[in-house]
Structure 1
């Protein structure tokens, strides 16, 4: 029998996890103090956490990247991740980072709707194409934006050029068997409805499913699952990045020259290997 709590337990299997997590808000704070132009706490809905930050590039803006953070829909805030905007920003893209209402104050289906509102609000402020990227629970949320029941309006959806889901959770049904479900409150109907793997993509928007090769087997499975099930319906790509775990796989978003930023912005063409070197 599968121990589902252990299957989703990332920190327990990453040496120095507590120190890594503690470093995230410090890095983000230092970036915010670096003089980069940031429009902060833009409201996109009525609830207290319905706010986003918008990081602007220098010079002309090529379009909008929206980064949605993870934390099992239970933890973290937009202000923990500001430095991850630097990879796309350095190439001329504006980057929106929304917070969202956390469980148990919101159901996962409510959070999906909130992220739809956040994407719409950010897109109303930035012209040009839109690219969506999210990690873990955020990977789930950006994949839900391009499901056949997308919360995005047609005009915004038509601007979405690409989705990059990093270590995403795409079949939520196993989470019902974890202790965290006492807080998430996932019922069978909601776990099925909120599982991107049980939907079809709404349009032929390219989707890259990215995961660290050293992650927990369940995260590898969930990433491979969406790539396989959506293959043939839209352009999908699976990347398992060697030498990366569930936490370190994020670091590349802050590096303008990293493979993950190249993939997000299509700066690598279609030649990126499925298994990247260390």
Structure 2
């Protein structure tokens, strides 16, 4: 039984060199944006709403895009923006996909339910620019947000739902109720009603969904549990799903393979079928 819920969700204290990751992400992301801007294949700060953080970046492949891939960042809905993750578009872009990366308003300025609606607007704005199938991926809190897009009560309208081909939740949080027991809930402001309504594991998936639940094998037990939880429940509700625990990966480096077009993670996201029996 978990006694310390703050510890259960604390990643940095268990990752060697944790403080080095954010500046490295920022450097790698800036370098990728510079290269893509120089090749005229980047559109930065596209507005999708009226708020100051209602902006997305769009990176295009060489030639016509196979479809739209969207990556939603994590940070417990309280930290970061799109500018730290641009390099993670590299794998899907090299495979011929256009990749959108949105920012969103952070807690406590917004509640998690409001952020869910913002991400829905961001996906719609990107989909207006890029034709074809849509594949979503998100890390940590972003994993929560992209799986909410795939719920029957999610914010995406029917035309977008018909285009949604696959959702990849990487170290995602799918049952938000335990977070009410953490100190960070002073910022998240989750109550029982919102935690239930915003938990993908307590909702139903869209029909015919391909779901990929991906987590690092070296992550905290609670993240591994949350990963298996959604894969298990949604399989029983008709989703075609695959659940993967990536060997040797922890919460901060589990996303690194998104920059490699030949990685198993990129293949599972934008390549062939991710579903398993």
Q: Could you state the TM-score of these two structures normalised by the residue count of structure 2?
A: 0.96
Which of residues 59, 82, 91 is equivalent to 1:87?
91
For 2:255, what is the secondary structure of its paired residue?
helix
Residue 271 of structure 1: CA displacement? 9.1
Report 1:116-155 matches (<5 A): 116-155=120-159
Alignment of 1:165 onto 2:148: no
- Which of 30, 49, 65 matches 1:61? 65
SS in 2 for 1:33: helix
Contact 1:136 1:169 (8 Å CA) reproduced: yes
8 Å CA contact retained: 2:210, 2:275 = no
For residues 181-220 of structure 1, what are the structure 2 equivalents within 5 Å?
181-220=185-224
Q: For 1:115 and 1:41, how far apart are their aligned partners in 2? A: 15
Deviation at 1:202, TM superposition (A): 2.2
Counterpart position of 2:12: 11
2:244 corresponding residue in structure 1: 239
| Structure 2 CA distance for aligned equivalents of residues 172 and 270 of structure 1 | 25
Residues 187-232 of structure 1 show CA distances to partners (whole Å, capped at 9, x for unaligned) of: 1100010000001112211101000000000000000000000013
Does the CA contact (< 8 Å) of 1:146 and 1:203 recur in 2? Answer: no
Residues in 2 aligned to 1:107 and 1:56: alpha-carbon distance in whole angstroms? 32
**Separation in 2, partners of 1:61, 1:49:** 26
User: 2: CA distance between counterparts of 1:92 and 1:252?
Assistant: 17
The 2-side partners of 1:260 and 1:21 are apart by 21
Give the counterpart of 2:182 among 178, 199, 205.
Answer: 178
Asked if 1 retains the 8 angstrom alpha-carbon contact of 2:212 and 2:275, the reply is no
Q: Output the CA distance in 2 between the equivalents of 1:164 and 1:92.
A: 18
- Relative to structure 2, which stretch is displaced further, 33-42 or 61-70? 33-42
Query: Which structure 2 segments of 5+ residues have no match?
Result: none
Counterparts of 1:250-269 in structure 2, within 5 Å, are 250-267=255-272, 269=273
Aligned-residue Cα RMSD (Å) equals 1.4
**Is the partner of 2:129 in helix, strand or coil?**
coil
Partner SS, residue 149 of structure 1:
coil
* TM superposition shift of 1:184: 0.5
| Aligned residue number for residue 111 of structure 2 | 107
Structure 1 residues 132 and 271, CA gap change in structure 2 (3 angstroms): closer
CA distance in 1, matches of 2:47, 2:214: 30
Structure 1 stretches of 4+ moved >3 Å? 269-272
Structure 1 runs not aligned, ≥5 long: none
- Write out per-residue CA displacement over residues 223-256 of structure 1, whole angstroms, 9 at most, x where no aligned residue: 0000000013211110110000001100000011
